[in-house]
């Protein structure tokens, strides 16, 4: 397995919010730079002073990366601009498009972890060590995708420091489980053929053409197509992913960037949320929830005090969907953006997102073992099992109630009837 060398001078601690950048840049869905989630009004950020966290189970998304499917749109935009270089130089442009006269350079390796992503993970490792100084482990597990492996290693450098050389790095392919709780979709044939893009495509077909027309008016004489416009929209977050700034972000209004965010949300809700056909998402997420309960309750009598695991945005969204923690009362609609929505990947799975489960006990404040979810630095209320005013105040619930609320997941098994039906497998 390849593990990258770390240049610590390149990984100086950085703030969670990018200096001098608009709040809009926090709202770029799953391709947002990392930022802490907003605190929920009325829910305490900290536990009572008499409580002690005795177990932590973390699932971390990889850091900022280069584009995947977005790459072709960005390259198409670059080609259009290169072909119109002479026209651009002789055409008056508004201030936010003046950068085109010097030419727009795009240099980003697709899918790879960027230096911004490395820094995100290193910083998170340091912050995690400061938050949980008394917990440790000697094993780190990740998805086998290289950007995730790299992310696990940079986090470990921040968390373990020089002791990283004593850590065992494993991927899910090294494990014996027939379904990986980090990448369960790999075991479900239907997931690979599932096409959740229809709603997102409908939304894009509605909001992108007017932006293309606007760009055509601002840069006359150039045929800026709808696909070129998509490339410009995608260039905003992926420039941020590679160098923390992008001239394209200032080209679009807040509303236009919100529409891009909603396109990604519709896509991810179809992939791993509540709009997934045949309930594939909640079924696959059950394997993580099942493993989580097994560890929290020490069901196998060998639970560790700390688990450090690394995956993808889908790795986090699937169990959230299974537990109903990010479910809207009405399904997301490709015809309009809801005024308020719970399923919001900008807050739940930006680049370098972290889902941290804490098991804790208290001398007086709570009776018996309790559970809390800290999602991207903010307490995420466990309303599915909260029973008391104290639960609601701290966003927590008892371990017993948590297990009871997620009983569905404990009864899901590989190749049982529900699995075979959802994944189109003949029993």
Give the active site residues. 62, 313
Residue 17 near residue 24 (C-beta atoms within 8 A): no
Rounded alpha-carbon distances, angstroms, from residue 363 to 83, 219, 366, 373:
70, 66, 7, 20
Distance CA 119, CA 416 (A): 42
Backbone angles phi, psi at 54, to 5 degrees: -115, -5
Distance CA 310, CA 186 (A): 15
Tokens 């236009």 sit on residue: 256
Strands 354-362, 51-61: pairing kind: antiparallel
Residue 257 near residue 264 (C-beta atoms within 8 A): no
Tokens 């086998």 sit on residue: 144
């Amino acid at each position: 397995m390849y593990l990258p060398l770390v240049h610590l001078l390149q990984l100086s601690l950085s703030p969670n919010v990018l200096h001098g950048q608009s709040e809009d840049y926090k709202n770029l869905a799953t391709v947002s730079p990392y930022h802490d989630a907003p605190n929920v009004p009325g829910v305490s950020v900290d536990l009572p002073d008499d409580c002690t966290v005795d177990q932590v189970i973390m699932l971390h998304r990889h850091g900022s990366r280069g584009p995947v499917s977005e790459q072709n749109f960005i390259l198409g935009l670059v080609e259009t601009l290169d072909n119109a270089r002479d026209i651009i130089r002789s055409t008056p442009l508004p201030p936010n498009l003046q950068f085109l006269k010097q030419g727009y350079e795009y240099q980003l390796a697709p899918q790879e972890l960027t230096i911004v992503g490395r820094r995100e993970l290193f910083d998170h490792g340091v912050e995690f060590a400061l938050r949980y100084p008394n917990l440790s482990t000697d094993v780190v597990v990740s998805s086998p995708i290289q950007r995730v492996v790299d992310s696990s290693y940079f986090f470990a450098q921040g968390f373990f420091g020089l002791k990283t050389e004593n850590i065992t790095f494993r991927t899910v392919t090294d494990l014996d489980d027939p379904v990986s709780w980090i990448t369960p979709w790999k075991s479900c044939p239907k997931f690979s053929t599932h096409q959740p893009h229809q709603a997102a495509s409908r939304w894009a077909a509605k909001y992108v053409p007017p932006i293309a027309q606007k760009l055509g008016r601002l840069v006359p004489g150039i045929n800026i197509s709808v696909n070129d416009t998509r490339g410009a929209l995608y260039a905003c977050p992926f420039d941020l992913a590679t160098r923390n700034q992008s001239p394209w972000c200032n080209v679009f209004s807040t509303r236009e960037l919100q529409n891009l965010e909603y396109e990604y949300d519709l896509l991810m809700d179809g992939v791993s949320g509540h709009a997934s056909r045949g309930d594939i998402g909640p079924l696959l997420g059950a394997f993580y929830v099942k493993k989580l309960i097994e560890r929290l309750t020490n069901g196998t009598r060998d639970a560790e005090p700390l688990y450090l695991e690394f995956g993808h945005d889908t790795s986090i969204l699937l169990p959230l969907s299974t537990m109903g923690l990010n479910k809207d009362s009405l399904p997301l609609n490709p015809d309009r953006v809801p005024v308020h929505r719970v399923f919001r990947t900008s807050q739940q799975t930006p680049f370098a997102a972290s889902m941290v489960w804490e098991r804790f006990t208290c001398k007086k404040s709570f009776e018996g073992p309790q559970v809390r979810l800290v999602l991207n630095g903010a307490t995420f209320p466990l309303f599915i099992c909260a029973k008391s005013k104290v639960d609601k105040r701290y966003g927590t619930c008892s371990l017993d109630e948590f297990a009871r609320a997620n009983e569905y997941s404990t009864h899901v098994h590989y190749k049982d009837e529900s699995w075979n039906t959802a994944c189109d497998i003949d029993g």
